[in-house]
Amino acid sequence: MLCVRSFCVVAGLNVAFLAGAPSRVADSVPENVLVVHCDQGKDLISRNIYGHFAEHLGDCIYGGVWVGEDSPIPNTRGIRKDVVEALRRLHVPVLRWPGGCYADEYHWREGIGARDQRPATVNTHWGMVVESNHFGTHEFLDFCQQIGAEAYISGNLGSGTVQELSQWVEYVNYSGESALAELRRKNGRREPWGVTYWGVGNESWGCGGNMTAEYYADQYRRYATYLRDYPGMRITRIACGASDADYRWTEVLMREAGRSMQGLSLHHYTWARGKTADDFDEAGWFSIMKNARLMDELITKHSEIMDKYDPRGRVGLVVDEWGTWYDVDAGTNPSFLRQQNTLRDALVAGLTLNIFNNHCDRVKMANLAQLVNVLQSVILTQGEKMVVTPTYHVMEMYRPHQDATRLPAELVCRDYRLAQDRLPALSASASRDASGAITLSLCNLDPKRSGLLQCDLRGASPARVSGRILTARAMNAHNTFDKPHALEPATFNGAKLTGATLQVTLPPKSVVVLRLE
């Protein structure tokens, strides 16, 4: 996806930008042009790009997912029914668990068997709270089945052993006769679950052991050797990758261990220190959008290194932690990372998902942090109450991209300027599903100015267009338990189709998803 400032030529179209143009967009001069090659496309947008992450952190698991079978909150085998129903509407493809930093202090045997006999442990990473271990392997995999997601288990390399992780794979995946398979059956699960995705440590450069890249590469090869493919069950081994722009880590891992991995992770958070999620001005809006756009550069540069050692793209880039991170909500435990979720977060989600879609040749999975009540969550709970967030709505609106074919596209757009700084105002991605319908997802990052976008749909002549929009008057618009429907998608009527040309007027601070048939 190309976005160029000033004067440019794209696919034979001359586009001049009007410096200092008024806030009203002149209908006769499109400032933004998108060329979509509808008759091309070879890369699939993996549904796993729309994955999620649930850690034993704050109220994500206990209270957010798990309430116990004796709870007055409606549940199925201890798991909240309202959360399950909401997540099923998202078509959640994959869910990562149990961490995060918590993964490298989690010992799976403490979370199996009769719940009243499971040992209590201390969560040393997140507030020194006592963990009951009532939500363990069986409960997590039951939750995945209830919401229709595949499981992605993050294994303990930091404080665990090779034997411990190897035996966890056997317990979960082996269908034959062994002591561990028999233990699984004794604990209530006759057939194996067949978990494909296994992470080998988490943030091993930091909370997962403070290792050097060279040391971790050696450890990874050792652990990966003993993560067995049992009969009829091939697993995907995902190595701990870099934080942000640590390109040396990727270089070392691909050089030393690339042949023994199927995935390499990347973590990038969009930070705003000193402010809560709903307390910001336009400068706070701008800085978050600029930070979120960095994801494109990070994926591009890490992919270039991966291409050097893996030119065929066998190893997938797995962005298994991404999202916004602010100061916690007032009055909440600072270790629980609970934050509100506003229209600003919705724009970050739309922008980031567009980036992932456009890099789907290398990005094969991504996991939003986190699922419930923590960081950029899609759901908030409070006792028996539940509300979905603006980010939830974006994930639902983008659902048609899952397993669709990415359509190559070039975007030329004006800048969104604030003081002396600037960034491209628009973001876009396009795909074609199995029926031939085209999905176009668009974001206008400018909170004050509309954008007129002209789309050249090359190789297609759709007969009709329909769409939905998420926007609001206030930059910090959000849903609360008292007003759960304050911010929701609405029908979008700002697109006009004439043959193979589509004109779209994008309101300020909006996410728009169009379907062309």
Question: What tens digit of pLDDT does each residue of 91-149 get?
Answer: 999 999 999 999 999 999 999 999 999 999 999 999 999 999 999 999 999 999 999 99
Q: What pLDDT does residue 29 have?
A: 56
Per-residue model confidence as pLDDT tens digits over 489-498: 999 999 999 9
pLDDT tens-digit readout, 12-31:
333 322 223 333 443 445 78
Domains, the chain, ordered by start: 8-43+406-516 (2.60.40.1180), 47-402 (3.20.20.80)
Distance CA 244, CA 415 (A): 25
Contacts (Cβ under 8 Å, ≥6 apart) of 370: 52, 53, 54, 55, 57, 60, 323, 337, 376, 377
Assess whether 55 carries a catalytic annotation: no
In percent, how much of the chain has pLDDT > 90?
93
Q: What is the mean pLDDT of the chain?
A: 94
Catalytic, 396? Answer no
pLDDT score recorded for residue 105: 96
Residue among 139, 203, 396, 410 flagged as catalytic: 203
The catalytic residue among 31, 55, 105, 321 is 321
Spatial contact of 224 and 200, defined as CB atoms under 8 Å apart: yes
Q: How many CB atoms lie within 10 A of CB 381?
A: 22
Measured distance CA(202)–CA(359) in Å, rounded = 23
Q: For residues 441 and 466, what is the distance between their CA atoms, to the nearest angstrom? A: 12
Largest CA distance in the chain: 74
Structure tokens at 258: 């690339």
- pLDDT tens for 256-314 read 999 999 999 999 999 998 889 999 999 999 999 999 999 999 999 999 999 999 999 99
| Residue 114, both tokens | 């009769």
pLDDT score for 221: 98
